[in-house]
Amino acid sequence: MVEGRVSKFLKKLGFSGGGREYQALEKDEEEALIDEQNELKAIEKEKKVTALPPKEACKCHKEDLANMFCVDLHTGLSEFSVTQRRLVHGWNEFVADTTEPVWKKYLDQFKNPLILLLLGSALVSVLTREYEDAVSIATAVLIVVTVAFIQEYRSEKSLEELTKLVPPECNCLREGKLQHLLARELVPGDVVSLSTGDRIPADIRLTEVTDLLVDESSFTGEAEPCSKTDSPLAGGGDLTTLSNIVFMGTLVQYGRGQGVVIGTGESSQFGEVFKMMQAEETPKTPLQKSMDRLGKQLTLFSFGIIGLIMLIGWLQGKQLLSMFTIGVSLAVAAIPEGLPIVVMVTLVLGVLRMAKKRVIVKKLPIVETLGCCSVLCSDKTGTLTANEMTVTQLVTSDGLHAEVSGVGYDGQGTVCLLPSKEVIKEFSNVSVGKLVEAGCVANNAVIRKNAVMGQPTEGALLALAMKMDLSDIKNSYVRKKEIPFSSEQKWMAVQCSPKTEDQEDIYFMKGALEEVIRYCTTYNHGGIPLPLTPQQRSFCLQEEKRMGSLGLRVLALASGPELGRLTFLGLMGIIDPPRTGVKEAIQFLSESGVSVKMITGDALETALAIGRSIGLCNGKLQAMSGEEVDSVEKGELADRVGKVSVFFRTSPKHKLKIIKALQESGAIVAMTGDGVNDAVALKSADIGIAMGQTGTDVSREAANMILVDDDFSAIMNAVEEGKGIFYNIKNFVRFQLSTSISALSLITLSTVFNLPSPLNAMQILWINIIMDGPPAQRSSQKTGVSGTGVRLRVEGRGQSTWAGRGWNFLLGVEPVDKDALRQPPRSVGDTILSRALILKILMSAAVIIGGTLFIFWKEMPEDRASTPRTTTMTFTCFVFFDLFNALTCRSQTKLIFEIGFLRNRMFLYSVLGSILGQLVVIYIPLLQRVFQTENLGALDLLFLTGLASSVFILSELLKLCEKYCCSTQRVQPRHEAV
């Protein structure tokens, strides 16, 4: 009965049975499934939204763009869309690859062949219980390795500087509300609002524009702001001409705008720059490659010594293990462990000399690399040019021509009529005065402390007015109205009321000639308006074409009571002029064998005009556009770039391609630049040179050399320094190896033939202290007979490792040889140990060995016992040979009389000190007992001096023969030509 009542109650509630309840549950699950499917479809739809390349986005209409990015231009994206898109595209930021730990980067520095050889030398020193020597070698290696690591670590800072170009915040439209967000939160499809002073947070396709001017100098390198539009483009142009796209990192200079994000993070154009910079590794310098080859050559030389000693021992019937020990000791002694540290110090001194000339070198080997630079690529704006827009020519409507002198915004310069050269001030010439007045009044810029606040072009007009003492003319009017410039109308105008009460309002207009002249009915003829005839229009168009062909930006100016009844006033030609000294620097570089090329984002006409004015080419300039660089095959590009002097309409990607193509053709490439757009090229070039004052932080970090005063001509000094350093390195390598081979040979010969030691341990130690001879001279021997044969022990090496580096340092700081400066850039394949240098080393060593052995043999008594006189004569002979050898090693090509004895005074002081020290050792009784020497007569010293001078005389005669042969070879082609 109770169950029946419950059943009736359930029926009243509509639940008539379990079947109907089951159907209700099934319906809920179906709806949930549909919702889930719709959500999955929405997620898939969001995942399909991708970044759009600017060249494609510029062609899209607003509606098509909104459909492609699934966004409502009036409300923006929803939070759901933003979340899903961020899962695909990530944050709008650059993340540097830090996978390689710092310790691994440090250990990588030890892969240098010469460093490995020195570490092997230190290990052998430990095994032979020469602990002091091992410590000294290890210390030298650590210093060199640490300096190299610090330089490499600092070079990575350029990536960090690039990330600073992404602004921290932006204004974004989401879910119908304008929100102030972190820029890193943006995703493709976001609608971003822009206004004056904003830095663009991503690549954006504009959909709404109001008088928008954008400073794209960080992207294109060109200072002139770009006028933007929201209309679709036909496409086909390069990135620098896309007027409806704004790029990440650029700056809104004026106006407002709104647009859709088409690329974020590494999908943006700056992201491309970031990825290219990450992928680029700073190439090894030619000096580093030469040092690597030298390390390998010395390794082979060391193994050769070991093999030779073992062969001699085997032929003499001695134990191979004993002879192997002797060979290893001599091989270790032959290794110039001081060479890397000496090279480093020589480069440091070069860097210090460059710093005095206002050039900062961040990477030591770069100083020398400039000596073999064969191609110099340069950005135009701010590097070759002053980055200060300047009016250079005026053409009045009545046909007068005037030229303007002076560069920049300081008002220094004059305006002169042509051809009379009459200087014009204020309204001394009405036609010119009216033209300059219009440019000054129709102007929004301000010049303060010689710097322009506003558009550079308008700053140039104010500077022109200052040169004519008309800078205050603007105060004669009260501005009532402004019609701002836009890319569609191509002009701007202001309506002003003269402060004189009895005059009516007047309009001043400036802009493109074809647009301004449409509003003119008369032209100014000496202050009198005359009807504007077709002939007068034709004259103006011809003058505009002429000025444009010179690379000038041409502005037309007019004034009058109302738009449509204006009086045409004339034309102004504006350009960013070359820096002072650039033309002379390019001429010097060309004469030195360095080819100079200009890479710019400017148009062809402007690029060619600047190229001709700075003397890039005496004949016809060859030019190539960025689009051509893209279209040419890699192999063909490497063949063509060497013949091209001007590259125009280029992007960072094009600059990198050009640098790589030049390097593939075998050139050592230097790149100068000041903008973010130059950063990749600066990093990939063999020598990256940034501007210190106008350069961006990114360019300065990417470069390894900085011109503090932005003085392009300072590169001349750097090239001179680079050439001189390499020749000086060869000088002290020649000295060090020739004396090393000499000492090694003396020890080896005395060991092999069971002769007494030519020098005792204290004498060898003294030679190290006063001469800084090579490591081989630090070895002394004690020979004795044991059951295993000859036993040799190397002593005294460690005691003097840091006793002095005099000879090497003094040869390294030898003033630059002028003959070396006139030589063309050296080939990348040139080694420090060239065939010619090896022959000179062997010749000097042979003379030293022969002379020293002659004295040793001459002074040896019949019983072959070593006496104090024998060792004193041999000891002094070797010291004198080293002195004369160092004297001739000051130059590889010039005679000592051409160099001048007094040019390197520190060298002379060191020579005199060495001679005095040697005399003290010979004649002071206390030191005689220590060094086992005895007094020598005056005739002995004269005889030793004459004998030792033979190495100097032979070397100088060899230089003389080389000079004669070279002069003969230069004369022969002239006779053939005649």
The span from the CA of 273 to the CA of 245, in Å, is 17
Q: Residue 193 pairs with which residues in a beta bridge? A: 171, 258
Peptide bond preceding 652 in cis form (omega within 30 of 0): no
Of the residues 133, 211, 379, 398, which is catalytic?
Answer: 379
Cβ-based neighbour number of residue 859 at 10 Å: 17
Quote the CA–CA distance of 623 and 610 in Å, as a whole number.
12
d(CA 387, CA 341): 42
**By CB neighbour count within 10 A (0-12 exposed, 13-18 middle, 19+ buried), where does 605 fall?**
middle
53, 88, 246, 264 from 50: Cα distances, Å: 10, 9, 18, 10
As to burial, measured by CB atoms within 10 angstroms (0-12 exposed, 13-18 middle, 19+ buried), residue 62 is: middle
Question: Count of CB atoms within 10 A of residue 219's CB?
Answer: 27
Under DSSP, the state recorded for 72 is B
**Residue of 854, 832, 835 lying closest to 843 (CA atoms):** 835
CA distance 114 to 108: 14
Q: Tokens in use for 726?
A: 């390499």
669, 685 contact by CB (below 8 A): yes
> From CA 391, how far away is CA 403, in angstroms rounded?
9
Q: Which of 221, 183, 223, 222 is nearest to 204 (CA)?
A: 183
Distances in Å between the Cα of 319 and the Cα atoms of 304, 310, 351, 751, 757 are: 18, 9, 52, 14, 22
Amino acid at 757: S
CA distance 25 to 852: 112
Give yes or no for a contact between 745 and 849, defined as CB atoms under 8 angstroms apart.
yes
- Record the tokens describing residue 249, joined without a space: 């990192």
Q: Cα separation of 434 and 823, whole Å?
A: 56
Q: Are 691 and 382 in contact (CB under 8 A)?
A: yes
* Region for 790 from its dihedrals, namely left if φ exceeds 0, alpha if ψ lies in -120 to 50, beta otherwise: beta
| Among the listed residues 518, 521, 509, the one whose alpha carbon sits nearest the alpha carbon of residue 565 | 521
Give the residue from 955, 824, 832 showing the smallest Cα distance to 888: 955
Residue 379 among the catalytic residues: yes
CA 133 to chain centre: 39
**What is the spatial distance between Cα 239 and Cα 250, in angstroms, rounded to a whole number?**
13
Instruction: State residue 451 phi and psi, 5-degree precision.
Output: -125, 140
Q: Which of 70, 83, 269, 264 is nearest to 184 (CA)?
A: 264
Do strands 226-227 and 245-246 pair parallel, antiparallel, or not at all (unpaired)? unpaired
CA angle 207, 212, 218 (to 5 degrees): 100
Q: Please provide the DSSP assignment of 585-651 as one string.
A: HHHHHHHTT-EEEEE-SS-HHHHHHHHHHTTS-SSPPPEEEHHHHHHS-HHHHHHHGGG--EEES--
Q: Give 39's contacts (C-beta < 8 A, 6+ positions apart).
A: none
DSSP state of 705: E
Active site residues: 379
